[in-house]
Amino acid sequence: MARAVFKQYSQGQICLFPRSLDEKIAENAPVRLVSQIVDNLDISEITNTYKGGGTSSYNPRMMLKLILFAYLNNIYSCRKIEKQNLENIHYMWLTGMQEPDHNTINLFRSSRLKDTIHKIFTQVVLMLVDMGYLGLDVLYVDGTKLESRANRYTFVWRKTVEKNKAKLEAKILMILKQVEEGIAQDNQPDDEPPKPINSKELKERIAAMNREQLSKENEKAVKTLEEKHLPKLQEYEDHLETLGTRNSYSKTDPSATFMRLKDDHMQNGQLKPAYNLQIGTEKQFITHFDFFSNRADFLTLIPFNKGFKERYNKFPKKESSDSGYGSEENYEFLQNNKIEAFVKYPLFHVEQKKSFKNNPFIAQNLFYNKEEDYFVCPMGQHMKNTGTSTRKSENGYSSTVTFYEAKNCNGCPLKCLCHKAKENRRIEVNHKLNEYRKKARELLTSEEGLYHRSRRAIEPEAVFGQAKANKQYERFRHFGIEMIEMDFGIFAIAFNLGKLWNYRENAKKKAQNDTKKGLIVIFVFKLENKNVLNQKFIQREERKTRYAA
């Protein structure tokens, strides 16, 4: 039996000439791509945040590489990044064997990148444009709600604040009425509703009182005003100021708004503090992102596009999104800025069904005489214009609605099928919105529209799926909108770098496969030619044999 031979092993062996870490890193490793991209970035905005003086600092380019590579590998904790840098050879190669601790990493991320991450992200996207991967002409838009780090039970609701504030104001005015003798308010009639009072006015009225002439009962009431009601009134005013136009916010993260999140595959969920994240993609690269406190997507499209223009100094030429963005205000904005709107509206898919098209009682299917401005009901009765009304959206956009009413529906045999109102049928029509929907329908049903509709389902939807399922980016780890934008900005850059690496690797594999296929074809061609030559040689020898015989 042969004796087993083992390689020499000495755990404490010291090399006179240690091997370079570069030899251990594969040529196509993602860490090399991260290093190459960051080396070509202009990071002057980051270096300008250093004041100078004192001890030396870690190179900001190295720190940026470290954080981006960590996010690329789904590592978002500063302590875990520090641990990887001490154990993982790729991190060691990237940092040049330097060892910043978790506090240094966190300080760089939160203070150096907070105000500069948007410019770094824009540079990376423009690099992808120069490489030919992106064109920034088509924008696929969608949104998702991501949970905040805030405590989900520290909520503040607008209705509750306004209700309690009104009750408190009534109490304050009642006490003031009792205390302030001889002022004009005593002579007001009892049926006049109390006027709202703010904390500043209450302070002035308390300061103007002559407390020496007050009775013990009134002195006690003034003390209650000063120590109890005034702070509470200030608290309610602060709540309303923080709320702004929102209906709710979290005390631990005032920037977060309570939104209903889909927690499971059945879309069952509960109200949680969250942000409405909007992204724009092209070829599954993230080209733009922004955060909103609005739960409705249609309120975000205009500021989102304006942010895109601020980033790249131009609007996209074409935009595709789902029915959550199809409003009159958005269509008008896209048209005014010469953006082709492949944007669905809420009834788009319903209108494609036969049951909708063949229903003569639906308002959209009624015949409209544009010249004389009237609709015709299924029985042939004219529904004439009875007036208009102006409505405003949450953004303050005004839209005009026209009302049309039939003269007499009594005795109509189709009334039970036409409408359920006791009186004559009345419809509301927004002519301007209908024109925008008509244009959108023509674009969406065209050959190009079908292409963009099919692409939209695999653009932002796929990015959200990869971010949440593959990257485990399901909840924010910071408080405040600025810190959240910083964190997602780093994630978006790392996500794009990962996509770039995948594109390059797939292109290499495709080229190798094409080369293999080409070699196989050449081999088969040569083999077939060889068989033909052999057959000709055999036939020639047979002929020689026959001639010789």
Q: Which of 127-136, 260-269, 291-300, 479-488 has the lowest mean pLDDT?
A: 260-269
pLDDT tens digits, 83-120:
999 999 999 999 989 999 999 999 999 989 988 999 99
Sheet holding 374-376, edge to edge: 367-369, 374-376, 382-392, 398-406, 426-429
pLDDT of residue 195: 66
- Percent of the residues in the chain that have a pLDDT greater than 70, as a whole number: 88
CB-facing half-sphere around the CA of 452: CA atoms within 13 A: 25
Task: Compute the mean pLDDT over every residue in the chain, rounded to the nearest whole number.
Answer: 85
pLDDT tens digits, 293-316:
888 888 899 999 999 999 999 999
Pick 5 or 332 by higher pLDDT: 332
Residue 401 structure tokens: 């609605």
pLDDT of residue 211: 64
- List b or e across 391-403, with b for residues whose CB sees 16 or more CB atoms inside 10 angstroms: eeeeeebebeebe
Supply the angle between the helices 230-243 and 199-207 in degrees, to the nearest 10. Answer: 160
Report in angstroms the alpha-carbon separations of 394 from 3, 87, 155, 245, 298: 85, 53, 22, 9, 10
Provide the phi-psi class of 170: left if phi over 0, else alpha when psi is between -120 and 50, else beta: alpha
Confidence of residue 184 (pLDDT cuts 50, 70, 90): very low
d(CA 256, CA 476): 11
Mean pLDDT of 350-361: 86
pLDDT of residue 427: 87
pLDDT of residue 531: 60
Mean pLDDT of 164-169: 87
Question: Residue by residue, what is the 3-state secondary structure of 276-334?
Answer: EEEEEEECCEEEEEEEECCCCHHHCHHHHHHHHHHHHCCCCCEEEECHHHCCHHHHHHH
pLDDT tens digits, 426-470:
888 898 999 999 999 999 999 999 999 999 888 999 999 999 989
Residue 187 pLDDT > 50, yes or no? no
DSSP run (H or E) holding 33:
helix 30-39
Question: Of 236, 100, 86, 108, nearest to 161 (Cα)?
Answer: 236
Supply the angle between the helices 158-179 and 230-243 in degrees, to the nearest 10. Answer: 150
pLDDT of residue 181: 56
Sign of the torsion angle spanned by Cα atoms 445, 446, 449, 455: positive
Confidence of residue 189 (pLDDT cuts 50, 70, 90): very low
Residue 498 pLDDT > 90, yes or no? yes
d(CA 492, CA 463): 10
DSSP run (H or E) holding 508:
helix 481-548
Report in angstroms the alpha-carbon separations of 108 from 30, 32, 55, 70, 269: 23, 22, 16, 14, 36
Confidence of residue 18 (pLDDT cuts 50, 70, 90): low
Confidence of residue 527 (pLDDT cuts 50, 70, 90): low
Residue 237 pLDDT > 50, yes or no? yes
Confidence of residue 186 (pLDDT cuts 50, 70, 90): very low
Residue 284 structure tokens: 């599954």
Q: Which of 1-5, 41-45, 492-496 has the lowest mean pLDDT?
A: 1-5
pLDDT tens digits, 198-227:
778 777 777 777 666 667 777 777 778 878
Residue 548 pLDDT > 60, yes or no? no
**Residue 248: strand pairing partners:** 157
Confidence of residue 545 (pLDDT cuts 50, 70, 90): low
Question: Residue by residue, what is the 3-state secondary structure of 346-406?
Answer: CCHHHHCCHHHHCCCCCHHHCEEECCCCEEECCCCCEEEEEEEEEEECCCCCEEEEEEEEE
Report how far Cα 168 is from the mean position of its chain's Cα atoms.
39
Number of other CB atoms surrounding residue 32 within 10 Å: 17
227 in Cβ contact with 206 (< 8 Å): no
pLDDT of residue 242: 87
d(CA 163, CA 376): 48
Supply the angle between the helices 216-224 and 158-179 in degrees, to the nearest 10. Answer: 160
Report in angstroms the alpha-carbon separations of 23 from 26, 29, 95, 234: 8, 12, 15, 65
CB contact set of 263 (below 8 Å; sequence gap of 6+): 269, 270
Residue 267 pLDDT > 70, yes or no? no
Question: Of 232, 157, 158, 223, nearest to 198 (Cα)?
Answer: 232
